[in-house]
Amino acid sequence: MLVKTEDGTHDVPMINAMTGEYNVNAGNYIVPAGEEALYHVIQEQKKFNAETGKRLSKPIIQKYGKKEYESIVQRQLRLQGFQVVVLHEPVIEGKKSAATTKTSEVSALRDELAALKAELAAMRAKKPTPPRKPQPKVQPKTEEKKN
């Protein structure tokens, strides 16, 4: 299994023989070209020999479609007792750019609001507001009873 390290890439076994932990994780996993739109997970139903403690199960890297994994597979694997470690989660570029666009729009609107508030304060400072005339109170009309 190829993983990223400080020295470049190295071929390492999936499980560390000394500790029993995975050598592959989301931080060092290299996604094969053309498979960026898929979920990549390590799945394993852990089993050990009761007498010796030796690991009997072997983890595998499985790839699933985004919709399939999110709607069915993720829940079913956990219900069946699999330990699941997500190595790669697909990111939709449209959502990423939409979020960036929204934040830029929000910051532009905030700048415009600040400019308008400053302009309004300047206008108020130049011209005093005339006193308001009191509004005459209107008596509510009462309907007469018809007999």
Report the half-sphere exposure of 18 (CA within 13 A, side-chain side). 0
What is the residue range of 58's domain? 2-93
Residue 142 counted as domain residue: no
How far apart (Å, rounded) are the C-alpha atoms in residues 47 and 8? 33
Count of other CB atoms within 10 angstroms of residue 124 = 10
| pLDDT, tens only, 23-39 | 898 889 999 999 999 99
Residue 139 counted as domain residue: no
Bigger pLDDT: 30 vs 135: 30
Query: What is the share, in percent, of the chain residues with pLDDT greater than 70?
Result: 86
| pLDDT, tens only, 91-111 | 866 555 556 667 788 888 888
How far apart (Å, rounded) are the C-alpha atoms in residues 3 and 6? 10
Residue 136 counted as domain residue: no
- Exposed/middle/buried for 90, CB within 10 Å: 0-12, 13-18, 19+? middle
Task: Give the count of domains, the chain.
Answer: 1
How far apart (Å, rounded) are the C-alpha atoms in residues 1 and 11? 5
Residue 32 counted as domain residue: yes
Bigger pLDDT: 41 vs 17: 41
Residue 122 counted as domain residue: no
DSSP state for residue 54 in the 8-state scheme: -
Residue 108 counted as domain residue: no
Residue 28 counted as domain residue: yes
Query: What is the share, in percent, of the chain residues with pLDDT greater than 90?
Result: 40
Residue 33 counted as domain residue: yes
pTM over 0.75: no
